[in-house]
Amino acid sequence: MPNFCPNCGVKIEVQNPKFCPNCGVNLQNSMEEISTQASEYNEAKIHATIHELGEKLEEFVEKILAGKGYHTRRRVRIRGISGAEKEIDIIATKGSKIIAVECKNWTKPVGVDEIEKFWAKLKDLGSQWHGIFVAYPGGFTEEAEKYADHYNIKRWDRYLLIEELLAVSVGRAEYASVEKGITVKNALPLKVNFLDASKIELRNKDKVKVYGMLSYHPYYVVAYSYFAKVKDPTNKVHTFKDSGKVFIDGLDGTVLNFAPAKGIQTIKKALKTAVSKEEREENKRNKKLMEELENSAFVKEYEVKAGENYKVRVLEPSVSYRSINKSALEYIIQKNTEVIRYAPKKSKDDLFPQIRTKTYVPKIKNINIKSRTLVFVP
């Protein structure tokens, strides 16, 4: 029996205890079961944190900035150069640096109009002010991203927020330094260096100093195959088969694959996608990620070092294998649920055959999870 709790780490003073006096985990289970309990307990804490992120966006943004060494104030009213009073969601200061933060807790992407308003606010505050625009969970439209990048306004979307929140509050990240690098395993290769990635088209770019963070984000690639033979009420055999990959975010367990739509829902989905620019832009990042994970050969391992103006970190996955399998199976079942059409035998009085339907939901025993690979994406 260990002399510490494998779940919360508290030292166990009592000999052969049944339960941890601090967190209550069962210490009589096997070490494997205890490890599973600890993983699920930590995962539940992480998911609760991510859920609260949507409800208390400004509070968590403050927490992230405070973790980076900033002093923060929330809901501050301040007069600009014009004399007009403006409300700033969060003001963050560190030394001579001062940042105005705008937070939008919107399910739809933030458009260019909101970025223009924020840029006007920054100009009226003065040239010494920097800007961060936070959009959770909807992110930004393509035009909004271009506008923000042109005027050097930092964009924090759902992905960056979850990365920063987990790195600060849960501590699930390993950092490289200028002196000592870190070895990244099973990662996609770097395609651009920091100097190229941080180019800013500004007239006074010689007066702007750029800092950055290279994050390695964990994703699971789950390969599967599915085969089933099903009899309808007329004893006709229907054969179903499918194979492919499910892509899952290793930090919050989100499935990147687009949800399949069947029947009339397919038509509605197609119409919605055709007219909704916001939905197309929302799916663009996931599509690009899946293409990279599908087509790019990952490198077994390589070393990365930080630079003077940028940091490097590797974010460890926060989702258990059990949850990864569950998410993959749910997607595969949803994708392969089929409506079987059949015609019962006619009686002599029936002029027209009746078409009936039966929904078949795949059984887990017919799904084969072939592999589960963890890949880090820079």
- Three-state DSSP at 28 gives coil
- Per residue in 153-186, pLDDT (tens digit) is 999 988 888 888 777 765 666 777 667 788 888 8
Tokens of 295: 């087509």
The reported pLDDT for the residue numbered 261 is: 62
Q: Give the residue, 252 or 365, on which the prediction is more confident.
A: 365
Over the range 103-129, which residues count as b (16 or more CB within 10 Å of their CB) and which as e?
bbeeeebbbbebbeebbebbebbeeeb
**CA–CA gap between residue 154 and residue 148 (Å, rounded):** 7
- Per residue in 18-49, pLDDT (tens digit) is 667 666 666 665 444 444 444 554 555 555 56
Tokens of 232: 């309808």
What number of residues does the chain have? 378
Answer whether 0.75 is exceeded by the pTM: no
| Confidence at 351, pLDDT banded by 50, 70, 90 | low
Q: Give the residue, 350 or 6, on which the prediction is more confident.
A: 350
DSSP 26: B
The pLDDT of residue 121 is above 80:
yes
